C-alpha cells in the first residue's frame, strides 16, 4: 500500500469523525442502542398498591400477558384515569382486556417490527466481521507442461505439478466497513428511530382506546341492568293502575278506552323489559370480546351506575384544550412521523454522494493443516473502493421528489391531526356541559315528582282521593329515574371519551 492511500484513508476518517457530532443523536450511541434493545414495556419501578381486599381480584391474573398489562398500568399512572370511578370490577375488566385483547396484542407486534428495523439499520453502521473456513482438493492434469529453465527462472516455482493432487486449507477472517462521511446511514437510522417512537405512541393510544371502549361498554351494561329494575317497578305500577281502572269500569265510573290505553302501555313496558334484558346480554358479550373471552360471557356483579354527583366530581384535565400537544398521543405520533419524513429527505439527498468501502482479510492458507500455525501460512489483504452514481435514469431524483412529497404530506397530516384533536375535545366538553345542564333539570323534575307522591299519599290517607293519583305520581318518579339512567350512562361515556381525547388525563 502506498503512502498516499493511507493518507487518503486517514483524511476520510478524520472528516467522518469531525462531521458526525454535528448530526449525532441526542443520546450517545451506546445508550441509544440499549434504549432500542429494551422492550416497549419496561418493568414497573414500584409495585402497584392495593387499597383493599377487593383489589386482589384486580391483579389476580397470573399469566405472562397479564403481568405485562400490570406493568403498563404501574408504569403509566397518569393513564389510569378509569380508577377515578372507584369500581374494582371495571379495573379488573380493563387489566384483563390489556392482557388478552387480540387486536391489542397484534398492535404490539408492530412495535417489535419497528424495533427490529431500528436494530437492523444501526447494525449497518458498524463494521462487519465474518470467518469462513474452506477446503479444496484438486488433481492436476498430467498433460500440463513443466516450465523450461528460463521460464522457471522468470516466473518462479509452480505450486502445482502435472498429475499432482493438492489439498488447500483456508481459514480467513474478513472485515468490511462502509464509511459514512455523508451520514447517509446515520439519517436512515434516526428516521427509523422516529418511526419507532410513533409506533410506540400509537400502541399506547390503542391501549387508551381499548380502556375507553371497556368503560363505555361497562356503562351500557350497568345501564341495561339498572333499567330492568326500573322497568319492573314501572310494570308493577302499570298493573296496579290497570286494576284500579278495571274496578272503576266495573262500577261504571270510566269508559273502556283508558283500559285499552293502559293495556297497550303494559305491553310496551314488557317489550322494553325484554329489550333491556337483551341489551344486558349483548353488552356482556361485547365486554367478553374486549377482554379476549372465547368460552362465553363472564359473570359480572350487578351494580348501580355512579351517581350524577360523583360523575360531576370526576377529574378533568386543566388547560383543555391548550395542553393537547403535551397529552395527545396521536399528535405526538404524528410529530414523530413528520420528523421521520424529514430525515428520509436528508437520506435521499445523500444518495447522490459517493459510497466509500473498506475491506480487509487476514487468515491462514496452506496445503497442510500442520503448517497453519507458521508465519509462512499467513494471508493478508486490504482493499478500498469508491462508488459514485453517474447515470441512474433519474431514479435518485425521483426518489428525492417522492420523499419531499411525503414530507409535505406529513406536514398537512400533522396539522389535520392537531385540528381534529381540538375539535374532538371541544365537542366532548360541550357534551358534558349539556349533560350537566340536563341533569339539573331532571333532578329537579324528580324532586318535584317525589313531592307529588307525598301529596298524593296524604290525600289518599285523608280519603280525599283514591289510590290512582298515588300510582300516577310514582310513575312520574320512575320516568325521571329512567331519564337519570340515560344521563348517567351518557355522562360516564362522555367523560371516558374526553379522557381518551386528552391522552389519558393529567389529574388522575
| Residue 189 confidence (pLDDT) | 93
Homologous superfamily, domain 127-179+355-388: Outer membrane efflux proteins (OEP) (2.20.200.10)
Average pLDDT over the chain reads 78
pLDDT digits (tens, 9 = 90+) for 181-197: 888 899 999 999 999 99
Distance, in Å, from the CA atom of 219 to the CA atom of 481, rounded to the nearest integer, reads: 16
Q: CA 243, 249, 254, 258: dihedral to nearest 10 degrees?
A: 50
Q: What is the DSSP string of 163-231?
A: T-EEEEEEEEEEEEEEE-TT-HHHHHHHHHHHHHHHHHHHHHHHHHHHHHHHHHHHHHHHHHHHHHHHH
pLDDT digits (tens, 9 = 90+) for 197-236: 999 989 989 999 999 999 999 999 999 999 999 999 888 8
118 has pLDDT over 80: yes
Query: Looking at residue 302, what DSSP letter applies?
Result: -
37 has pLDDT over 80: no
- Percent with pLDDT over 90 in the chain: 25
pLDDT digits (tens, 9 = 90+) for 347-376: 999 889 998 888 888 888 887 777 777 777
φ, ψ dihedrals at 107, nearest 5°: -65, -35
Helices marked H in 251-328 — which ranges?
257-290, 308-312, 324-327
What is the H or E stretch that residue 387 is in? strand 378-387
State the residue for C-alpha cell 505450486. Answer: 159
pLDDT digits (tens, 9 = 90+) for 241-257: 888 878 877 877 777 77
Per-residue pLDDT band at 379 (split at 50, 70, 90)? confident
| Residue 144 confidence (pLDDT) | 64
| Residue 175 confidence (pLDDT) | 87
Provide the CATH topology of domain 39-76+86-125+180-354+389-501: Outer membrane efflux proteins (OEP) (1.20.1600)
SS3 per-residue string spanning 365-384:
EECCHHHCCCHHHEEEEEEE
Least confident span in 11-20, 128-137, 153-162, 323-332: 11-20
* Domain ranges within the chain, ordered by starting residue: 1-38, 39-76+86-125+180-354+389-501, 127-179+355-388
pLDDT digits (tens, 9 = 90+) for 444-493: 988 998 898 888 888 878 877 777 788 888 888 988 999 999 999 999 99
- 457: Cβ contacts below 8 Å, ≥ 6 apart: 470
| Residue 299 confidence (pLDDT) | 77
Neighbours of 214 (CB within 10 A): 25
What distance lies between CA 257 and its chain's CA centroid?
A: 60
Amino acid at each position: 500500500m502506498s503512502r498516499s492511500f493511507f493518507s487518503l484513508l486517514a483524511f476520510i476518517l478524520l472528516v467522518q469523525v469531525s462531521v458526525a457530532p454535528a448530526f449525532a443523536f441526542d443520546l450517545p450511541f451506546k445508550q441509544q442502542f440499549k434504549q432500542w434493545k429494551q422492550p416497549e414495556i419496561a418493568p414497573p419501578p414500584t409495585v402497584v398498591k392495593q387499597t383493599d381486599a377487593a383489589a386482589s381480584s384486580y391483579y389476580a391474573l397470573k399469566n405472562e400477558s397479564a403481568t405485562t398489562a400490570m406493568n403498563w398500568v404501574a408504569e403509566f399512572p397518569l393513564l389510569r384515569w378509569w380508577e377515578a370511578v372507584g369500581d374494582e370490577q371495571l379495573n379488573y375488566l380493563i387489566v384483563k382486556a390489556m392482557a388478552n385483547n387480540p387486536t391489542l396484542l397484534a398492535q404490539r407486534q408492530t412495535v417489535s417490527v419497528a424495533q427490529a428495523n431500528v436494530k437492523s439499520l444501526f447494525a449497518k453502521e458498524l463494521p462487519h466481521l465474518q470467518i469462513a473456513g474452506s477446503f479444496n482438493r484438486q488433481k492436476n492434469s498430467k498433460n500440463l507442461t513443466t516450465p523450461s529453465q528460463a521460464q522457471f527462472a522468470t516466473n518462479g516455482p509452480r505450486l502445482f505439478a502435472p498429475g499432482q493432487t493438492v489439498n488447500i486449507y483456508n481459514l480467513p477472517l474478513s472485515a468490511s466497513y462502509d464509511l459514512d462521511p455523508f451520514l447517509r446511514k446515520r439519517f436512515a437510522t434516526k428516521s427509523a428511530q422516529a418511526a419507532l417512537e410513533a409506533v410506540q405512541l400509537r400502541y399506547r393510544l390503542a391501549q387508551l382506546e381499548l380502556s375507553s371502549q371497556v368503560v363505555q361498554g361497562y356503562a351500557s351494561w350497568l345501564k341495561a341492568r339498572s333499567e330492568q329494575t326500573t322497568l319492573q317497578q314501572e310494570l308493577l305500577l302499570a298493573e296496579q293502575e290497570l286494576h284500579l281502572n278495571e274496578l272503576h269500569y266495573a262500577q261504571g265510573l270510566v269508559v273502556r278506552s283508558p283500559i285499552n290505553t293502559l293495556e297497550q302501555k303494559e305491553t310496551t313496558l314488557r317489550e322494553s323489559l325484554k329489550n333491556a334484558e337483551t341489551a344486558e346480554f349483548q353488552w356482556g358479550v361485547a365486554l367478553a370480546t374486549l377482554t379476549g373471552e372465547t368460552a362465553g360471557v363472564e359473570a359480572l356483579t350487578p351494580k348501580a351506575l355512579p351517581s350524577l354527583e360523583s360523575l360531576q366530581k370526576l377529574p378533568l384535565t386543566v388547560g383543555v384544550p391548550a395542553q393537547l400537544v403535551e397529552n395527545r398521543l396521536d399528535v405526538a405520533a404524528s410529530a414523530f412521523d413528520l420528523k421521520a419524513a424529514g430525515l428520509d429527505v436528508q437520506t435521499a439527498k445523500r444518495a447522490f454522494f459517493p459510497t466509500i468501502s473498506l475491506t480487509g482479510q487476514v487468515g491462514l492458507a496452506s496445503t497442510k493443516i500442520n503448517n497453519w500455525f507458521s508465519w509462512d501460512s499467513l494471508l493478508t489483504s486490504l482493499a478500498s473502493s469508491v462508488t459514485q452514481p453517474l447515470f441512474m435514469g433519474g431514479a435518485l431524483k425521483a426518489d428525492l421528489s417522492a420523499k419531499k412529497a411525503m414530507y409535505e404530506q406529513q406536514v398537512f397530516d400533522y396539522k389535520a391531526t392537531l385540528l381534529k384533536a381540538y375539535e374532538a375535545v371541544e365537542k366532548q366538553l360541550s357534551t358534558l356541559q349539556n349533560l350537566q345542564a340536563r341533569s339539573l333539570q331532571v333532578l329537579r323534575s324528580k324532586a318535584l315528582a317525589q313531592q307529588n307522591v307525598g301529596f298524593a299519599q296524604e290525600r289518599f290517607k285523608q280519603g280525599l282521593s283514591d289510590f290512582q293519583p298515588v300510582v300516577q305520581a310514582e310513575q312520574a318518579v320512575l320516568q325521571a329515574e329512567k331519564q337519570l339512567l340515560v344521563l348517567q350512562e351518557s355522562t360516564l361515556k362522555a367523560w371516558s371519551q374526553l379522557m381518551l381525547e386528552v391522552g389519558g388525563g393529567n389529574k388522575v
